[in-house]
Amino acid sequence: MVALPAIALPAIALAPSAHASVPAQSGTTHLWGKLNQLNNSGATGTVTASLTGDQLSIKIVSHGLLAGAPHAQHIHLGGSNTCPSNDTKGTGVDGHLRVADAMKDYGMIAVSLTTSGDTSPNSGLAVTRFPVGSTTYSRTITVSDATAVSIREGKGVVVQHGVDYNGDGKYSGSSKSELDPSLPEEATDPANCGRLEVSQMSGMPTGGVQTGAGASDDASAIAFGGAAAAATAAVGFGYVGLRRRAANRI
Ligand SMILES: [Cu+2]
């Protein structure tokens, strides 16, 4: 029973690439992004990434995030594939920008940038598997073909979440997250945002298909890629079956 979806999902994910993304499979695309604060969080960061085939190596150096607290982080796709500005007001307490307020800008979760295990949208709120405080995060993960195509087009937007508005050193306050009422709004509001721009280095000529070292990732990683593809297909290409599960939205 376990083996079937692990095989079937990548098959679904790969099908659209037969004609649509063959050129994108060649070489390595280099990406760069600057994370700018949202909600006056004071949190910033720098993202560097490279994408070879479906293997995404991503590094995030963050500053100014609440210490000692987990910070959900994702690659979002959809909306206008942009970040709202820091002064954008939202529906949260004191006019703070909530996750859902910015979906028209950065869309929904395509990849959960967890520290281990699943990276699908289903792990969007897996607080035990996100970095704690300001860190240097680095991981190579398998993304779906559809997500890879969008990232190569410069549409990926990285968002880190969690803002300590009242400065008490933890996620607190009476206002609850619109995604999970068991969490304070502080835990899920976006702290910063940056678009993954394709760097000039990506124009370098390459010699055919490369398969990164990450290709040796275990079967579960491949299955996650398939799951992400299914989600991205719904999110990024026509909004068919738009999922309203909270975990997909932060
Ligand atoms: Cu997010």
Mean pLDDT of 208-222: 36
Residues with CB under 5 A from ligand 1 (ion): 74, 159, 250
Average pLDDT over residues 116-127: 96
Strand partners for 55? 52, 142
How far out from the chain centre does Cα 52 lie?
17
Average pLDDT over residues 147-167: 98
Query: What span, in angstroms and rounded, lies between the C-alpha atoms of 237 and 131?
Result: 30
Dist. CA 121 → ligand 1 center (Å): 9
* 242 phi-psi bin (left φ>0, alpha ψ -120 to 50, beta other): beta
Query: 1 CA to middle of ligand 1, Å?
Result: 32
pLDDT score recorded for residue 249: 53
What are residue 143's phi and psi, to 5 degrees? Answer: -110, 165
What is the whole-number distance in angstroms between the Cα of residue 72 and the centre of ligand 1?
7
As a whole number, mean pLDDT of residues 52-64 equals 98
Positive or negative: CA dihedral 232, 238, 243, 249: positive
pLDDT tens readout for residues 167-190: 999 999 999 999 999 999 999 999
Any idea where the domains of the chain sit in the sequence? 26-203+212-248
Averaged over 193-218, what is the pLDDT?
Answer: 58
The pLDDT assigned to 45 comes to 98
Ligand 1 mean position to 81 CA, how many Å?
13
Q: From ligand 1's centre to the CA of 66, what distance in Å? A: 16
Given pLDDT bands bounded at 50, 70 and 90, which one contains residue 200? confident
**pLDDT averaged over the chain?**
79
C-alpha of residue 201 to centroid of ligand 1, in Å? 27
Phi, psi dihedral angles at 2 (to 5 degrees):
-75, -40
Tell me, in angstroms, the distance from the centre of ligand 1 to residue 186's CA: 13
CA of 5 to the centre of ligand 1 (A): 26
**How far is the centre of ligand 1, averaged over its atoms, from the C-alpha of 222 (Å)?**
22
CATH no., domain 26-203+212-248 = 2.60.40
Q: What is the mean pLDDT of residues 31-39?
A: 98
Ligand 1 centroid, distance to 124 Cα (angstroms): 7
Ligand 1: centre distance to CA 45 (Å): 15
Alpha carbons 28 and 43: distance in angstroms, whole number: 29
pLDDT reading at 10 higher than 50:
no
- CB neighbour list of residue 187: distance below 8 Å, 6 or more residues apart: 69, 127, 161, 162, 171, 177
Q: Is it the case that residue 66 has pLDDT exceeding 70?
A: yes
pLDDT at 103 exceeding the cut of 80: yes
- What does the pLDDT read at residue 42? 98
Distance 188 CA to ligand 1 centre (A): 8
Most confident of 143-157, 200-214, 232-246: 143-157
Q: How far is CA 182 from the centre of its chain?
A: 23
Mean pLDDT along residues 82-86: 97
Phi first, then psi: what are they for 89, rounded to 5°?
Answer: -90, 150
> What is the CA(189)–ligand 1 centre distance, in A?
9
